Amino acid sequence: MLSPYIPIAIFVVVATGFALFTLVFSGLLHPEKYNKVKLEPYECGIEPLTDARDRYSIRYYLVAMLFVIFDVETVFMFPWAVIFDKLLLFGLIEMLVFIFILVVGYYYAWQKGALEWV
């Protein structure tokens, strides 16, 4: 049952191991001559005055929330698509109803201006 997943687990271990190995290996090779200016964050030569993680408006956050809804919707469509040839017309109507409900919600969000770049 789980046997097809064993190679995937091995691959995760091998890939992570490769990444760690290269980091450690290059850590042994590369020079380390640091100074204060070199270690500053890059800001075109100007000394950064504030922390970069300032509070500012992420303008697309409503779009991001809608994305969650519609991405979950696509995941619902995956199993439906697999057995579509058994469900036939019944499955098609079911899916149309499902998408119709989503489209109504989408239209509402659109009219409310959720897709505007605020």
Least spacing, CB of residue 66 vs other proteins, in Å: 9
Asked whether the beta carbons of 109 and 66 are under 8 A apart, the reply is yes
Helices 84-111 + 61-82 axis angle, to 10: 170
Any alpha helices (H) in 30-83, and if so which ranges?
61-82
Regarding 74 and contact with other proteins (CB under 8 A), the answer is: yes
With binding defined as CB under 8 A, does residue 12 bind other proteins? yes
Q: Residues in contact with other proteins, total (CB under 8 A)?
A: 54
State the Cα–Cα distance between residues 106 and 39, nearest whole angstrom: 47
- The binding site for other proteins (CB under 8 A) comprises 3-8, 10-12, 14-16, 18-20, 22-23, 25-27, 29-34, 36, 38-44, 48, 51-53, 58, 60, 63-64, 67, 70-71, 74-75, 77-78, 81-85
